Amino acid sequence: MTIDRAKLERAKALIQVGTMSEAIDVALDRLIRAEQLRADVAAYTREPLTADELALGDLAVDFTLDDEDVDYEALYGEQR
Q: Write the pLDDT tens digit of every residue in 46-57.
A: 888 889 888 887
Q: What are phi and psi of 69, to 5 degrees?
A: -85, 0
| pTM over cut 0.85 | no
Report CA 61 to chain centroid distance, whole Å.
27
Q: Write the pLDDT tens digit of every residue in 12-22.
A: 999 999 999 99
